[in-house]
Every structure is written in C-alpha cells, then in structure tokens.
Structure 1
C-alpha cells in the first residue's frame, strides 16, 4: 500500500462523510434559520426553542434518507473490501 493509496482512500472517505451528512446538516440549518426568524419576529428569546424542532426535523430526515446513507456506506465498504488484496501487496 502506497501513500497514494492511503490518500485516495482518505479522500473517498471524507467525500462520503460530507455527502452523507449534508442532508442532515442542511435540514438542521434550514429549521434553525426558520426558528430564528420566528423568534426575531415574535421577540421570543428562548434559547431552547430551536432544540425540539431541529431534533424532530433531523429524525424525519434520517428516516427518509437513512436507506440512501446506508447504501452509500455499504458501497464504500464493499469497494474497500474488494480491493483489499491490492492494498496488502
């Protein structure tokens, strides 16, 4: 296994992490922004108000995108295991 192989695997892993976490982070960002706008308009300054809606939104997004995330992780692991012999030499 060369340094180039390690860099390639690391790059693919980081891209997978970014791709799989993007839907959850975007939903959290959007819900947080909506709640912040609501708090500004209504002058409610409760810090814990954003926690429950974000938690519910992330849970729903995980239910909807969970299969896609698992398929991406499974494909990466399958590719890594199939090329294991090439990395050992």
Structure 2
C-alpha cells in the first residue's frame, strides 16, 4: 500500500461521510436559526423550545433520506469489497 492509495481511500470515506451527513446537519442548522430568531423576536427563552424542534426536524429528515443514505453506503461498501484484490498488492 502506497501513501497515495491510503490517502485516496481516506478521501473517499470522508467524502461519503460528508455527503450523507450534510443534509441532516443543514436541516438542523436551518431549524436552529428559525427557532433562535423566534426566541429573539418573542423574548421567550425556553430551553426545550431550542431542542425539540431540531430533534423532530432531524428525525424526519433521516426518515425521508434513509433510502438515499443507505444506497450511498451500500454502493461505497460494494466498491471497497469488489476492489479488495487490487488493495492487497
């Protein structure tokens, strides 16, 4: 295994991780900004109002995106397994 080969596998793993997590993190960020704006406008600083909408939004996003996420992870894993003979030498 060369250094470039290990860097390539690590790069691919990081890319797939970011691609899968980015929509979930983006939804959490957007909901967090909306809730913070609502709290600033109404001056209501309830701690549960901060967490519950974000948790619900992230959970719904995961439910909708789960097939796409699973497809990406399965494809990446299949590529790793199919290319295993190339990785050995």
Q: TM-score, normalised by structure 2?
A: 0.96
Partner of 1:70: 70
Structure 2 CA distance for aligned equivalents of residues 18 and 47 of structure 1? 29
Segments of 5+ residues of structure 2 without an aligned counterpart are none
Partner of 1:45: 45
Q: CA RMSD in A?
A: 0.8
Structure 2 CA distance for aligned equivalents of residues 33 and 62 of structure 1? 19
Structure 2 CA distance for aligned equivalents of residues 3 and 77 of structure 1? 21
Partner of 1:81: 81
Q: TM-score, normalised by structure 1?
A: 0.96
Q: Which segments of structure 1 move beyond 4 Å, counting only runs of 4 or more?
A: none
SS class of match (1:49) = helix
Partner of 2:7: 7
Structure 2 CA distance for aligned equivalents of residues 87 and 35 of structure 1? 48
Partner of 2:61: 61
